Chain A
Amino acid sequence: MRERDTAVDAARRRASPRVRRERFKDFLCVAPALAFFAVFVYYPLVDLFRIGFTNWNLIRDEYKYVGFKNYKWLFKGSGLDTWLASLKVTFSYTFWEIVITLVGGILLAALFNREGKAFAAMRSIVFMPKYIAISTSAIVFMWILNDQYGFLNYVLGAFGVGPVAWLNSERTALTSVLILTGWRVVGYGMMIYLSAMKGISKDYYEAAELDGAGALKRFRHITLPLLSPTTLFLFVTTFIASMKVFQSIDVMTAGGPYESTNVMVYWIYDLAFVQFRVDRAAVVASVFFVILLAFTAATMKISNKSVHYDS
């Protein structure tokens, strides 16, 4: 250890002014990006935790530090019930978005896994909704889900079901939002799985076929395990994305009815910009950040042990 240290020191001492200048120029290449992350990502995160200890609101300019008052409001005071309800609805939204992306994605991948132009075109169509602004598609879905004149209730009515109140009922509002989500994300899951399936060597399938394994068995014992890194990738990215859900909620339900779709980011927004309680919003956001970080870290840790890597 000691020897190596002195060797490094020696190398550093030997570095000529020219080499040092080159190193500095290399560093200058990354400096703008680093400065940006310092100012617009890391500093705001620190500032967020600081604001949580103040009584700042958007109505008055001055504020003072109030210790853990806002945390008490959240964990022991009147904020607790809303917080728990919001956590519950955020996680249940996330759970269903993950299920749709993973299960729906892999089923569609199996279905659309066929050569030829017709299938390539159909795959593109199923994938496209992800690229349409959520706010715009949300407005289209609100029209389809309209309880009086919507097309969905008309179709259900033809089967003797309904009319369902969809966005106007606390029992079905989250489901309504998830219908839009499903439409948007299932093709994305499919595409990610399909591109991973292309990378699986045909040899596995041929060997299994020789052993007499049927199509379902081959899917179960070859495709699924070899796709586990892809499943992990989709799981983690979908988790992070869906915990942040805001756009569809803002347009379709505004957190209602009766806070039944009051997801975490919507609540933070509502606290800050509707109720002007920036201090409380900061505390909810801080705690939310810790939850996100803990869950992501835990997922990574578990998955490192259980994911099957093909190499």
Chain B
Amino acid sequence: MTNQALAANVRARRLRAAATVLQYALAIAIVLIVVFPLYWMIISSLKTSEELLQAVPSLWPAQFRWRNYADALAMAPFGRYFFNTVVMTVGIMGLQLVIGSFAAYGFAKGQFPGRDALFIVVLGALMIPIQVTFVPIYGMVAKLHWINTFAGLIVPHAVSAYMIFLLRQTFKSVDDSFLEAARLEGMGRVGVIFRILVPMCKPTMMTVGIISFIDGWNAYFWPKMVTTTSFRRTIAQGVYELKRSYAGLETMNQNQIMAGAVMAVVPIVVLFIVLQKYILSGFSKAASK
């Protein structure tokens, strides 16, 4: 009897060990598939043109051609793209956070007639993407002479309905007694928002700020509409512009195009690694609402 039980136990344990090994193997295989395009981008960016076009592609460059990076920089004004992207992204993030905090306070804690009806107006904006309305917005921006300007890049993205939604939810969870105490000490609304609510909701503020930053950094659709020259182009368009600048000779210059891609990807990957805890918590928050 006991022998049989023992044998069953051993079998169960072996089965479990086999399942663990299988789980690790499958997980590692998937990680390798996901990483491969990034690996291939880096490796290709360091190859010579001859090696790039070998019939049997090499998994490691025979010789490293760092010059590809200098060549890519000579083909496209990456410095300018970076500058434009940073100004645009920081501008959008700053405006979204400030205007969003005010609005979230008003909708979460404010007392005025029609508050909840007006909040529906905010939520409704989520259903009207710029991909639908860009033609009239372009007309408006053109009339204001905002084509190829930071104003044109930033202002149409200055408020995020989604951010107001998330911040309102978080501000609501703060107990009113904190706000009343602050008011009794003579603090005005601005003080209550930025010295009480925002610090108390720091994790959420971080999350929405980072998501806004990444969205801005990777924005493509509207920047493409509103910029016509490389003067105000952003990095998300930059790599594509680099590729196009080789007109017809793209294949043999893939190493330089990949070098441009590496330069565009590195900042965001570093940011992701450093701040991923906030990014992840943001998504679970969004999904649970």
Question: Which A residues contact B (CB, under 8 angstroms)?
Answer: 22-30, 32-34, 36-37, 40-45, 47-48, 51, 108, 111-112, 114, 119, 122, 124-129, 131-141, 143-144, 146, 148-149, 151, 154, 183, 187-188, 191-192, 195-196, 198-199, 230, 233-234, 240, 244, 246-247, 250-251, 265, 268-269, 272-273, 278, 281-282, 285, 288-289, 292-293, 296
Contact = CB atoms under 8 A, between A and B. Distances in A.
17 contacts: A26-B110, A27-B112, A30-B103, A36-B99, A48-B135, A51-B135, A108-B30, A131-B269, A136-B265, A139-B239, A140-B40, A143-B258, A144-B37, A191-B280, A191-B284, A244-B129, A288-B132
The secondary-structure label for the interface of chain B is helix
A109 to B, nearest CB: 12
A30 B118 contact: yes
Contacts of B287: 192, 195-196, 230, 233-234
B200 interface: no
Interface stretch (B3-11, B20-28, B64-72, B201-209): B20-28
B69 to A, nearest CB: 15
Given A126-B34, A251-B240, A24 B112 contact: yes
Given A122-B27, A125-B35, A154-B56, A268 B99 contact: no
Given A36-B99, A44-B136, A149-B251, A187 B34 contact: yes
List of 5 A-B pairs having minimum Cβ-Cβ separation, nearest first = A26-B110, A195-B284, A29-B106, A30-B106, A33-B103
Interface in B105-136: 105-107, 109-113, 115, 118, 121-122, 124-125, 127-129, 131-136
B161 A143 contact: no
B164 interface: yes
Contacts of A244: 129, 131
Nearest to A194: B284
Contact of A246 (B131, B237, B280): B131
B31 interface: yes
Interface residues of B, number: 88
Contacts of B156: 40
A139 to B, nearest CB: 5
The secondary-structure label for the interface of chain A is helix
Interface of B: 23, 26-28, 30-31, 34-35, 37-38, 40-41, 44, 52-53, 56-57, 99-100, 102-103, 105-107, 109-113, 115, 118, 121-122, 124-125, 127-129, 131-140, 155-156, 158-159, 161, 164, 189, 193, 214, 217-218, 220-221, 224-225, 235-237, 239-240, 243, 251, 254, 257-258, 261, 264-265, 268-269, 271-273, 276, 279-280, 283-284, 287-288
A149 B57 contact: yes
B34 A27 contact: no
Contacts of B264: 133, 136
A111 B283 contact: no
Given A24-B112, A36-B159, A132 B268 contact: yes
